[in-house]
Amino acid sequence: MDSALFDYHLPMDRIAQEPAAQRDASRLMVVDRTTRQVTHTTFANIGDYLPDNARFFRNNAAVLKARLFGQRPTGGKVECLLLQPAEDAVTWWCLLRPGKKTLQGGTFGIKGEYSAEVLNAGENGNYRVRFHPVRDESVTDLSERLGIMPLPPYIEREADDPRRAADNERYQTVYADYEKRVAVAAPTAGLHFTPGLIGDLEAGGAQFHDLTLQVGIGTFHPIQVDNILDHNIHHEWYEIPASAYAALQQTAPGPRVAVGTTSVRSIEDAMRRVKTAPDSCLTPARSVQAEADIFIYPPAQFEAVDALITNFHLPKSTLLCLVSAFLSPGNDAGIDWLMELYAEAIAHNYNFYSYGDAMLIL
C-alpha cells in the first residue's frame, strides 16, 4: 500500500501552538460511519452524540518532564531526552544532542545536581545512559524537578517562553496518574476532558476505565518508505487492568469508546495477543501486560472498539493509517474518506496536532 495515500497538505497556521482557552472548548468534528453525516460542535457537547451508558477507555499515562539539560566536561551544552528505562531504574535509553560528542566525552551533568555516564550507543540514534542524582531521588523525580515538558517539535517554544508554565498543566490529561510517569508524549485525545465534563458524563451513566500505554517518541516518526508494509512500527509497553479488560470483553451495556489512538493500540494489541498466546500477556489477576507492536492500517478489523475520539494527525503517520482503517473496517474506503474529512476540517479552520481540535467517530 502506497504511503502517499496518507499524505496531505496542511497550512502552517492550522498547527496549534497552544491549546484552547478551556479544555472542552476545543472544536469537535462528529463523524457517523453509518449515515456518513458530519457535525461540527465543541468537545463540551460530546455527550450529546453518545448514549448515556457509553464506556470510555482512556490512557492514564502521565507525561514525564523528559527533556534534561547538562554540560560535558569540556563545558559544551547537552540536551538529553529520556525515552525509557533500560536494565534498571537509573539506566535509561535517551536521545542526546550532540550525540557523538557526548558519547566520546563519556559524561555530562549539572554540578550539584546530577552526573550521567554515556555507556554506549544503541539503535536509531539512542544512547544508554546511567544517571547519578546527587540527592536521594529517582531519575523520574530528578526530571520532574529539573526537566521540561517534551513538546513535539511542531509546537514552537523559546527557552524563556512564558507559555512553558501553562504547558506543564495543559500537556497533561486531568486524569493522568503521576505514579505512571512513563510517557514522553501526551495521549492528546484525552487533553479535551475536564473534571466537570467527566463528572457530568458519569452522572448520566457513562463509565471510565483506565489503562496505561507508555507513549514513546516513535509516535511522531513518519512513514519514510514507499510501501507502508515495509514500515518498522514502534513498540510501546502497556498494561490493561483486569477490570478494564473484563469490560472490553463485554459488548454491553454501552459502546466501547477509545479515547485516542494509544488506547486503540493497547486494546487491539491485547485482544489479539490473548486470543493467540494468553500465557504471554495475561497475569494471574487477569490484567494484560505486553509490549504493543501492532500496526493498524486498512483493511483492518477491530476487536473491541466501537467508537473513537482522536485528534487530527500528521501526514504520512501510522496514526492516519489507524484512523482510516477505523472509518471503514474491512476495506480501504476509509483512506479517501479521511482525506475528505481532513480537507473539510481545514476549510472550517480546525486546529491540528497535539494542541488541536478533536474528532469523534461513531
Backbone dihedral angles phi then psi of residue 354, each to the nearest 5 degrees = -60, -45
| 8-state DSSP, 280 | G
Mean pLDDT across 147-171:
94
pLDDT, tens only, 1-25: 999 999 999 999 999 999 999 999 9
pLDDT of residue 125: 87
What structural domains does the chain harbor? Answer: 3-63+169-361 (3.40.1780.10), 67-147 (2.40.10.240)
Contact 94, 216 (CB under 8 A): no
Average pLDDT value for the chain = 96
10 Å Cβ neighbour count for 79?
15
Backbone φ and ψ for 314, nearest 5 degrees, come out as -65, 150
pLDDT tens digits, residue range 245-303? 999 999 999 999 999 999 999 999 999 999 999 999 999 999 999 999 999 999 999 99
More confident residue, 41 or 220: 41
> What band does 222 get if pLDDT is binned at 50, 70 and 90?
confident
Residue 128, strand partner residues: 93, 120
Outline where DSSP puts E strands in 188-247.
207-213, 236-240
Q: For residue range 310-355, what is the model confidence (pLDDT) as tens digits? A: 999 999 999 999 999 999 999 999 999 999 999 999 999 999 999 9
Half-sphere exposure in the Cβ direction for 146 (13 Å, CA): 23
Residue 3 backbone dihedrals phi, psi, to 5 degrees: -65, -20
